[in-house]
């Protein structure tokens, strides 16, 4: 018989990078985890196997976050497997760097499909399905404060995420569900390293008062805080960036 008392999470983009750290961190808190992936089933299966080996519960779910039917199916799968959903974490996202003047508009559409529409679609399902006492955690970026050149399209997409996060927190009045966003700073993931030379990486690491890049585990701790004990934090953007901004 399905256990309906344990907490359950669905993490989009949970197969790698920050998402992988998040699913493992939530599993350590005793949360059953749906590990979502977009195209790499093998990486999701690896994450699931690691959680199960450590004594947790997890299952892999595929699908395009921007496809409302695929995401409805993903939520259905997690509910069937674990009895409900208490936590939804949107880590799925893409980044293309280019000056605004030269950005390929097809890349703009791809960024917004995943980062904006994808977050909206998943948040819509979360608003309908997350149980009382639950939490929704979306992902923004500290780039919305730093505003460096070449990040225009990415920053715009994440500013949209912040706005919909704060609106949804107010729309869920009376349901005892918190809605917040985490805004990482420079974090050592494949997405961060993409397109950067070593000098640029070193400069960003030294820019923080802690003089290092963040790790996926650093960001996962912020998510676990918002997903669990942080019941009086709602409608906020938490900047997890080592004091960079």
**37 assigned to active site:** no
Question: To 10 degrees, the CA torsion angle through 156, 176, 129, 95?
Answer: 20
How many angstroms separate the CA atoms of 93 and 111, rounded?
8
Helices (H), 85-179: 105-112, 118-129, 143-146, 152-171
Pick from 234, 229, 117: nearest CA to 171: 234
Q: What are phi and psi of 82, to 5 degrees?
A: -120, -5
How many angstroms separate the CA atoms of 89 and 144, rounded?
20
Check: CB of residue 227 under 8 Å from CB of residue 136: no
* Whole-number Cα distances in Å, 58 to 7, 30, 46, 241: 12, 11, 11, 29
Which of these is catalytic: 37, 151, 154, 239? 154
Residues serving a catalytic function are 154
């Amino acid at each position: 018989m399905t256990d309906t008392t344990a907490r359950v999470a669905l993490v989009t983009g949970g197969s790698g990078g920050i998402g992988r750290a998040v699913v493992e961190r939530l599993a350590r808190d005793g949360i059953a985890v749906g590990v979502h992936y977009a195209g790499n089933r093998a990486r999701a299966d690896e994450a699931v196997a690691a959680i199960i080996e450590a004594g947790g519960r997890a299952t892999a779910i595929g699908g395009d976050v921007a496809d409302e039917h695929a995401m409805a199916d993903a939520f259905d799968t997690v509910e069937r497997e674990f009895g409900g959903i208490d936590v939804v974490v949107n880590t799925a996202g893409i980044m293309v760097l280019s000056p605004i003047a030269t950005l390929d508009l097809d890349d703009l559409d791809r960024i917004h499909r995943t980062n904006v529409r994808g977050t909206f679609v998943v948040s819509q399902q979360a608003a309908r399905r997350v149980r009382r006492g639950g939490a929704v955690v979306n992902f923004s970026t500290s780039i919305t404060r730093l505003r460096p050149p070449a990040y225009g399209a990415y920053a715009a997409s994440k500013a949209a995420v912040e706005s919909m996060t704060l609106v949804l927190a107010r729309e869920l009045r009376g349901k005892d569900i918190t809605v917040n966003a985490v805004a990482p700073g420079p974090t050592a993931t494949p997405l961060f390293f993409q397109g950067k030379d070593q000098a640029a990486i070193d400069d960003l690491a030294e820019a923080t008062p802690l003089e290092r890049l963040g790790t996926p585990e650093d960001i996962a701790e912020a998510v676990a805080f918002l997903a669990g004990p942080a019941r009086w934090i709602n409608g906020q953007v938490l900047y997890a960036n080592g004091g960079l901004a």
